[in-house]
Amino acid sequence: MRPGQAPDVGPGQGQRRAVLAHFVAGLRAEQDSWRRLATQGEAPALEKHRSQLAAVETLLAGGIEEARARLRTGELAGLPVFVLDLHHVWDYFRSKFALRRLAEYRDCLAVADELAWACYRAPLAAALGAGTAPAKEPPLVSFSRAAAPRAHRRGDQYRELLPRGGIHTGAGLRLVRGLPFPVIDVPWYHASHLPALLTVAHEAGHHVEDDFGLAPEIGERLADAALPDAERERWRRWAGEVFADVCACVVCGVAYPGVLAETLGALVPEPAGPASLDHPPAAVRLGVCRAALERAGHPPAANWPKPLAATLDESADGTPAAAEVAAALLDGGYERLGGASLPELLAPRRPMPGAFREYPDMVHAGRLLAGVPSRHQRIPGVVAAAALAFMTDPDGYDSRRVGARATAEALGLRPKGPRADVPRTPARGAAPDAEPGRLLLGALLGEP
């Protein structure tokens, strides 16, 4: 500065570049710290989310590199806004992962993620074995202010899902054009009522259909079903919803339609008019559920708990079309899933002895109400047992802390380690593999 010259107002170019470099480096450092939470240590806090965090890191990497390039070339105009856009996109995911580090939400979200994985894992393994799909990240469950659960598909534009504030740059807009993995939103109050989480299985069914390209085959099955001509177009529009319901029934058993009936009847009023055309009426959905349960080998409705049987008797549509649709979706294997059927993939069942064979699910529910563990061997079965315990004895459910105890029991069944070991299920009719160990190779989901 020359003698008598007034000092410059504000930082110079070098200082401004240094400040912006800190902004960019901070975002990169935050990505590194979250990766360590998923990969480092004996039991990383977020080890189940390794592949999802890696997918977000990949999504942001291009933007971070663009910001670094602008720092190198001195193109600083608008760079703070661009970095804020990167943070805005990251915050959509960051908030979901951060909740998994809070004790108030950690266990609930862990159970919900496991329910989604129970629906998704076997179809993924079958698709890998059949060579019809690459390795894919599983769905991530999140909370939402919406009154009903909702599935957001991989690749969907998700700008409207971001926190308020908007995206202000073209590069930011490119980042929100496609979700890097599926997301399942559930209402915030599901965190305080374990049975409601069974609805996650329905939303996971949507992701099974989308991620493994099952829509054409589902359509063909319904086209070949013995349905009245006047109803075919309706069932074609309803195909995705009824497929998701059938998946949830196979995974969760008779508890699912009970939870569905409560959700549809009490919490989410059925839409009226044209808006309802793309979704089956509640009675039709429950009728398909009842038919699907019996078709998949669950006990007949006469053996269901009285509150559940009464609910479905009053509200379910028992027309022959429901039975035909259930049969079309459940019978026979899916080509894109290596020729396996939904019951084969989603419902490995353990036989019960003697008198319990007619209705094993109530045995597990009775144990919870008696104050002891359900002893079910699968996480969806534990949650379903808790739901049945609530339906049959709401007061006992509360007084014996069934929700908290079932949550702890379910999480005790969760395997250790990341969801990277997805054995490939060989397609039906395939020649025996000359190297059996290859069938046990993981799909390497989650490796950064």
CA atoms within 13 A on the CB side of 309: 8
Lowest mean pLDDT segment, chosen from 5-9, 247-251, 422-426: 5-9
97 CA to centre of own chain:
14
Provide the pLDDT for residue 257.
92
In this prediction, residue 69 has a pLDDT band, given cuts at 50, 70 and 90, of: very high
Structure tokens at 174: 């490119």
Q: Which whole-number Å values give the CA distances from 183 to 154, 178, 269, in the listed order?
A: 8, 12, 24
**Distance from chain centroid for Cα 414:** 16
Residue 74, exposed/middle/buried by CB under 10 A (0-12, 13-18, 19+)? Answer: exposed
**pLDDT digit string, tens, across residues 307-355:** 777 767 766 777 789 999 999 999 999 999 999 999 999 986 544 444 3
In angstroms, the CA 207 to CA 222 distance is 19
- Rounded to whole angstroms, what are the CA distances from 64 to 59, 84, 123, 173, 301? 10, 11, 35, 14, 57
Burial readout 229-254 (b: 16 or more C-beta within 10 A, e: otherwise):
eeeeebbeebbbbbbbbbbbbbbbbb
Tokens standing for residue 121: 């894992």
pLDDT tens digit sequence for 359-385? 677 889 999 999 999 999 999 999 999
pLDDT at 320: 85
The string of DSSP codes covering 380-411 is HHHHHHHHHHHHH-HHHHHHTTHHHHHHHHHH
Q: Report d(CA 216, CA 23) in Å as an integer.
A: 47
Q: What is the mean pLDDT of residues 268-275?
A: 48
Instruction: Indicate the burial class of 194 (C-beta count within 10 angstroms; 0-12, 13-18, 19 or more).
Output: buried
pLDDT digits (tens, 9 = 90+) for 247-267: 999 999 989 999 998 888 765
- The pLDDT value recorded for residue 41 is 84
Residue 442 vs residue 145, higher pLDDT:
145
Digit-coded pLDDT (tens) for 128-140: 999 999 999 999 9
